[in-house]
Amino acid sequence: MKKTLFTLIALSFVLLVKAQSDSSKDVTIDQPDFQKPNDSQIFTSVEHVPEYPGGLNEFGRYLGRSIVYPKSAIDHHIQGRVIISFIVERDGSLSDIKVVHSVSPDIDNESLRVMRNSPKWKPGTQNGRTVRVAYSVPISFSLSGK
């Protein structure tokens, strides 16, 4: 009796395991694929962030060579940090350049001028594809030493 009961339990266990393994072959589970970004999607966080040609130090040199401190801001001792936001496009060009933190109209306009004249950046990438990335940079204007 014990032998028969053990055999039935063992057989039931084997059939149960076999049924589960067979059913897993028949069931397809929908797993989300990596979403392919569309051309208009704007990312705020990516695997590889956009980069100014030559890196951050070169960007600082570009700003130092390009910015002309507005005379009216010098005359009125206006200084501060402008924050500019923009989109680095898939081709590295900059679009939708705007001031998100203002100092003064003259300083803001100079910051916008310099960013509009920026060379193309190395674009950001996500899942091995170049994508549009929202980016912000602070630009400081200081009169120390003037």
Q: How confident is the model at residue 8 (pLDDT cuts 50, 70, 90)?
A: very low
Determine the pLDDT at residue 40: 86
pTM: 0.72
Cβ–Cβ < 8 Å for 14, 106: no
How many angstroms separate the Cα of 92 from the Cα of each of 1, 44, 95, 133? 80, 15, 10, 10
Q: Who wins on pLDDT, 49 or 5?
A: 49
What percentage of the chain reaches a pLDDT higher than 70?
73
The count of other CB atoms within 10 Å of the CB of residue 129 is 14
- Taking only the tens place, the pLDDT of each residue in 81-119 is 999 999 999 999 999 999 999 999 999 999 999 999 999
Which among 52, 53, 46 has a CA at the least distance from the CA of 139? 52
- Taking only the tens place, the pLDDT of each residue in 35-85 is 555 778 999 999 999 999 999 999 999 999 999 999 999 999 999 999 999
For the segment 22-40, the average pLDDT, to the nearest whole number, is: 47
Residue 19 has pLDDT above 70, yes or no: no
Determine the pLDDT at residue 38: 72
Determine the pLDDT at residue 144: 78
d(CA 142, CA 127): 40
Domains contained in the chain, CATH given: 42-141 (3.30.2420.10)
